[in-house]
Amino acid sequence: MVYEGARSVTGPLLGMLGASALLVGLVTGAGEAMALLLRLAFGPLADRTSRYWALTLAGYALTAVCVPLLALAPALGGAGLAVACALIIAERVGKAVRSPAKSALLADAAGAVGRGRGFAVHKALDQVGAFAGPLLVAALIAATGVIWPPLAALAIPGAAAMGLLLWMRQRVPNPEAAERDAAPPVRSPQRPPATARSWLGVGLPPRFFWLAGSAGAATAGLVTFGLISYHASQTRLVTVAAVPILYAGAMAAAAVAALASGHLYDRWGARVLFALPALGAAVPALALSHSGTGVIAGAVLWGAAVGVQDSTVKALVADLVPPHRRATAYGVFAAVQGVAALAGGGLAGALYSHSLPLLVTVLGACQVLAAVLLAATLARPSAAA
């Protein structure tokens, strides 16, 4: 609720403070890049120090503090723009600080109920917040006519989140003990023997890198919602006012897909993830068509693909990687997806104005590659992991 609520008005806030379109793009782009790439540092740090809870709490605290402080920016005069830019980037740094450690904690906690289900519930609740936060901000802006009151109001869910985290910290102080005592753990990976082969010098199993490559190809081949909404508005198949509703529908589809794929993962195993490249290949053909129904269907499938990618894929990462290396793995995994998203977004944007059929074909080829790499991941013997 807190960070998605703030992100829904980041552009208007910076514009009100005097930022140019270039500065808005640079600040938001830098924030997203740091949110992904800094995980390469904070993932290994969590594993090396075993301070999973400390990093999780610190990362959430940055978000809980930085977002409400944005409400002060309009009152700071000429310094307001610089302060707002710094706070926006700091909030994204908080995402990088907490994400690998949080995912490792979640993998431990979900051992007793099934990691597919655990990550699915997490994603579903995440989408509830992603839907509710912007709605709260929109309602308060409509009631007050200004941006700063809803930013200040986001301190309330931020405080609630911190309280819940502190309460859970008391209940589960040692994540390794939590996994060890799970009854029974679901496909809990065994700690590799001392002679196990290291890969690229970071102690992660080869199968993890095949999976990361598959996820990277799937991410590069998944057209962004930004391009979908641009196409929908430029062709006037969807009005500008209806684009947020289209996005909300996609987020609802993400929650449903995460729950469904997580349940099936625990029952049938990782082969359910072949649905991800299939969904990704269908998105551009529908979402970038000249049919309003096609655009809506494509947006829904895009949301479903995002839901599977951000939940059930992470469950497989947890099952492939030893517990003491999970935070590192999630950091590397996020970096691969971040680079792939940047490359795929640029490729799709360039091809959009050149040839839509070529765009659909190229992105479809990326999804075929993702399926091949996933098959290679699942075909490798477990001993390699």
For residues 123 and 54, membership in a common domain is answered with yes
Tokens of 34: 């740091």
What is residue 176's predicted lDDT score, i.e. its pLDDT? 57
Q: What confidence score (pLDDT) does residue 235 get? A: 83
Domain final residue pick, 149, 172, 195:
172
89 lies in the same domain as 223? no
Say if 196 falls within a structural domain.
Answer: no
152 vs 65: CA distance, rounded Å:
10
CATH number at residue 76: 1.20.1250
Same domain as 138, residue 59: yes
Residue 242 token pair: 């209806």
Question: Are residue 298 and residue 154 in the same domain, yes or no?
Answer: no
> Do 133 and 249 belong to one domain?
no
Residues 251 and 151 occupy one common structural domain: no
Domain limit, last residue, from 172, 187, 214: 172
190 within a domain of the structure (yes/no):
no
The answer as to whether 258 is a domain residue is yes
210 and 119 both lie in a single domain: no
With CA atoms as reference, report the closest residue to 4 among 254, 239, 242. 254
Range of the domain at 375: 206-380
**Geometric angle at alpha carbon 226, from 223 and 231, rounded to 5°:** 85
Three-state SS letters, 109-124 = HHHHCCHHHHHHHHHH
Q: Do 124 and 244 share a domain, yes or no?
A: no
Q: How many domains does the chain have?
A: 2
30 and 147 together in one domain: yes
- Pair 363, 299: CB distance under 8 Å: no
Q: Is the pTM of this model over 0.95?
A: no
* Tokens of residue 28, six digits: 């938001």
22-26, 170-174, 216-220, 372-376: range with lowest mean pLDDT = 22-26
Q: What is the pLDDT of residues 274-313, one digit of tens each?
A: 999 999 999 999 988 888 899 999 989 998 998 898 888 9
Q: Which two tokens stand for residue 183?
A: 């009854």
